């Protein structure tokens, strides 16, 4: 099973900022969310994380043995990095939603994201059919995992919400990937 986890909350997440390649640590709630994920995830033979601190801290709550894979890094927001979501003009959001090849100035498109994420998932599929592999990543790569698991276009990213410290599960032991759960948050109920 591929078990895909979003990192816990950071101060930038709490402030509603676009957080791509900046590297803040988890805040107090984020650390509690990571600990809750660590309890909810079965002991895994393999845990792979984005190189960014918020993911590494979440991954370390799951396992003491964490591999790093650069492909799990968040989408590059380019010139939009750090902006409040509400400060991005509506016309810009519309252009972004209309074209998966569109990217923020200096940033990365959804097509670019899929081009780096889907080969990683293809590589891990056979192994994940035999044992659990946990991937700790960010909103956009997790949406790419969802699209891969469903066998649909990356434009589904605009139709999905990924909660902090949520869990996505994709089985790979059949003829095609099979989505088993999305946006699991039951393990966080005590934190509300």
Q: Which residues are catalytic?
A: 7, 74
What phi-psi label fits residue 12: left (phi over 0), alpha (psi between -120 and 50 degrees) or beta? alpha
**Residue corresponding to tokens 């919400």:** 161
Distance CA 105, CA 79 (A): 6
Q: Where are the alpha helices (DSSP H) in 41-109?
A: 53-60, 90-98
Task: Measure Cα distances from 135 to 18, 67, 71, 103, 186 in Å.
Answer: 21, 10, 11, 25, 19
Contact 102, 155 (CB under 8 A): no
């Amino acid at each position: 099973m591929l078990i895909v986890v979003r990192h816990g909350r950071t101060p930038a997440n709490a402030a509603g900022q676009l957080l791509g390649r900046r590297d803040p640590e988890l805040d107090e709630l984020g650390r509690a969310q990571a600990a809750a994920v660590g309890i909810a995830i079965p002991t895994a033979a393999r845990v792979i994380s984005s190189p960014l601190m918020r993911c590494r801290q979440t991954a370390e709550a799951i396992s003491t043995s964490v591999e790093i894979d650069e492909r799990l890094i968040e989408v590059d927001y380019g010139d939009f990095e750090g902006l409040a979501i509400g400060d991005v003009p509506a016309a810009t959001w519309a252009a972004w939603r209309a074209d998966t090849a569109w990217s923020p100035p200096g940033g990365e498109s959804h097509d670019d994201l899929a081009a780096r994420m889907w080969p990683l998932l293809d590589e891990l599929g056979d192994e994940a059919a035999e044992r659990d592999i946990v991937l700790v990543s960010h909103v956009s790569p997790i949406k790419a995992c969802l699209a891969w698991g469903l066998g649909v276009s990356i434009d589904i990213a605009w139709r999905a919400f990924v909660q902090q410290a949520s869990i996505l599960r994709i089985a790979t032991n059949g003829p095609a990937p099979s989505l088993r759960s999305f946006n699991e948050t039951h393990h966080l109920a005590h934190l509300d």
